[in-house]
A = this chain, B = another copy of it.
Amino acid sequence: MNPTQLMAKPIGRVENGADESTALDHWTSVESRIVLDPSLVGGLSGLEAGQDIIVVFWFDRSGGFDLLQHPKGDTSRPKRGVFALRSPHRPNPIGVSQVHLLAVEGNVLLVRGLDAFNGTPVLDVKPVNHP
């Protein structure tokens, strides 16, 4: 396997009230602000409140990974492979979530349902469909 390393750079950060102590079952109602680097604001043209978007982010607090993990850390359930799980503990700690876009205000996207802690680096935002 080619050992190439690929360099990604955050385009912005998540701001919300969720940290490591937040109960994980309530992400669907969490509102977050995705604060983009102001130099990228032109790239938001065409995004509209009310649509769903895909947010790609970096699990910056995930530490390492095991190939086999209990689903959601629930030790009463049998382990599965990491690629059959959405665990943040992955070879590349990249999260992909479909969220609801509530508003676009300058370089800030207000979204609901993003399962990422406050301060999480954001790598990309995409529409769900292919315009």
Contacts and interface: CB of A to CB of B under 8 A. Distances in A.
A7 B6 CA distance: 6
A9 B92 contact: yes
A8 interface: yes
Contacts of A71: 131
17 contacts: A1-B37, A2-B121, A4-B10, A4-B121, A8-B94, A11-B92, A40-B91, A42-B81, A43-B68, A43-B81, A43-B91, A47-B81, A47-B84, A54-B96, A56-B94, A91-B124, A94-B124
Kindly name the residue among A8, A44, A121 whose own CB sees the greatest number of chain B CB atoms within 10 A: A8
Q: How many copies of this chain? A: 2
A17 interface: no
Interface of A: 1-13, 37, 40, 42-47, 53-54, 56, 58, 67-68, 71-72, 79-86, 90-92, 94, 96, 121, 123-127, 130-131
B56 A43 contact: no
Contacts of A94: 8, 56, 94, 123-124
